[in-house]
A = this chain, B = another copy of it.
Amino acid sequence: MELFGTAGIRGHVAERVTPELALAVGRAVAAEIRERHDGNDGDEGAENGGPGPDPEVVLARDGRVTGPAIAAAMESGLASGGVSVLRAGRLPTPGLAYASQGRYGVMLTASHNPPSDNGIKLFRDGVEFDRELERAVENRVDGEEAPAEWDAWTTTERGDTLKSYLDAVETYARGFGEVDGRDDQDALDGLRIAVDCGNGMAGPATPTVLRELGASVVTLNGNVDGHFPGRGSKPTPESLRDLRAFVADANEGVTEPGRSGSDGDAEGFAFGIGHDGDADRLVLVDADGDVVHEDTVLAILAERYVCRSDADEPVVVTTPNASGRIDERVRAAGGRVERVRLGALHEGIASVEAADDTVAFAAEPWKHVHVPFGGWIDGVCSAAVLARLVAADGLDALREPVTERPYRKVSVDCPDDRKAAAMADLTERLPEAFPDATVNTDHGVRLEFADASWTLVRPSGTEPYVRVYAESDDVDELVEQVEAVVTSVVEAAAQRSH
């Protein structure tokens, strides 16, 4: 059974992510861990002088109503599978990832899905399971993995790991340098920030970290509530309208929004932050209440991370649909960009590092992996780092060097059974049609032009389309040209198949 999608296992709690499934997955994960740590892999055990450290799994959940019952089933599966479990209660997903370092981790979350859904994310040593591990789990679920011997069943412990995570984020963000010659301790002092936690797991995390860093934080929807009463749990310009209006209205007529003047307290807000249900995503809202484009946020962070890196040519890992503005800023800072398929940032990082290169930063839109901090997507860390950067330079100054070109995305009809043929043709036809472009065919066909325009053509993974992404000062013309090529190739493929 194919359980894992690009976001782990996710679905309705009565149909897909049931307690029964959680029990089965827990059992499977436990069996897989035990096999890997019981010295079954031959010589390795002997070299190390014995099996590895006690396998342990930390198990957490987001704030969903169904979380406790799913977690109990998962605990039962893990414990009857013979691995010891630490129940860590409610955590942001990045908090669980942090706690999984040196062991395994199970996060029960459906991120921004509706409240009737839940999901399972699996971590090893801070990083999501790769496909090989996922398949091993799927196979064991299919095989209805039996319990371990009765005397290997474990008793679960309970503990709270949130504070150590928040402390670590705070310490990490403090490392983001001196700010205006102000005392480091009070670096954010006077900076007012509005955070919309969407009733998700950011509530007990982001406002606390920012306050510890010295900010003055006003929180929207900071109470954890699995019904997501305040807004949709996916942060979009529409779902964030309360936050955006709140920031914009508060800043009306304020000269330096969110900063304290000579005469006392700050007025307005320097910026706003919106999170999804499990706080791996972050959306940035500027002082006018507008959402800052996701690729611009990536470009800002990527440039900073490349500058801070000691490596000769630091690498930024991102996804094919991410804008060329990232490449511009990374190159300007002396680094290089590598693209990997959506949902596979951790595999991209591993691949780059396997080649002895240094990854400075990795991200897809809204999701940032702060590599020097850890190999997981971390929206709380993003909030802290961005706050430090804004406090030092101001958001306008951070955005200034990033060129935001017009962007479009269109879908061309293409039945699933013709996608392969069409893409094969396009790999030839598109470079022919745009002879000046640099071509990259790792994930579809991506063309980059001298003026930083770019286009990406790739088949949809789930729908009968070929997608065309383009970003250019004259985006309509570029899309028109590319679409024409795609359409003709798809039609040609159709005729051949008759």
**Chain A residues in the interface with B (C-beta under 8 A):** 12-14, 18-20, 22-23, 54, 65-66, 68-70, 72-73, 75-77, 79-80, 115-116, 146-147, 150-151, 153-160, 163, 167, 197, 199, 203-204, 207-208, 211, 215-223, 225, 227, 229-231, 242, 245-246, 249-250
Contact = CB atoms under 8 A, between A and B. Distances in A.
Closest 9 A/B residue pairs (Cβ): A222-B223, A69-B79, A72-B76, A73-B76, A222-B222, A69-B80, A249-B249, A116-B150, A19-B76
A296 B85 CA distance: 43
B250 A229 contact: no
Contacts of A158: 158-159
Given A116-B150, A223-B222, A68 B79 contact: yes
Given A14-B150, A69-B154, 18 more contacts: A13-B80, A66-B80, A68-B153, A69-B76, A69-B80, A70-B76, A70-B80, A115-B150, A158-B158, A158-B159, A159-B159, A203-B222, A207-B225, A217-B229, A218-B220, A219-B222, A219-B223, A245-B246
A65 B222 CA distance: 18
Nearest to A211: B229
Nearest to A206: B223
B218 A147 contact: no
Most chain B Cβ neighbours within 10 Å, of A54, A80, A225, A250? A80
Nearest to A75: B72
Most chain B Cβ neighbours within 10 Å, of A70, A76, A231? A76
A42 to B, nearest CB: 21
Contacts of A147: 13-14, 18-19
Nearest to A150: B116
A246 B22 CA distance: 42
A114 B217 CA distance: 17
A75 to B, nearest CB: 4
B245 A223 contact: no
A65 B242 contact: no
A80 B65 CA distance: 10
A218 B203 CA distance: 13
Contacts of A220: 218-220
Given A147-B13, A217-B230, A68 B156 contact: yes
Nearest to A87: B72
Most chain B Cβ neighbours within 10 Å, of A75, A151, A229? A229
Given A211-B225, A225-B208, A65 B216 contact: no
A215 B466 CA distance: 43
A225 B205 CA distance: 11
A14 B223 contact: no
A156 B207 CA distance: 21
Contact of A242 (B23, B156, B221, B250): B250
A227 B246 contact: no
A158 B150 CA distance: 25
Most chain B Cβ neighbours within 10 Å, of A147, A197, A231? A147
A282 to B, nearest CB: 17
B72 A79 contact: yes
A119 B291 CA distance: 43
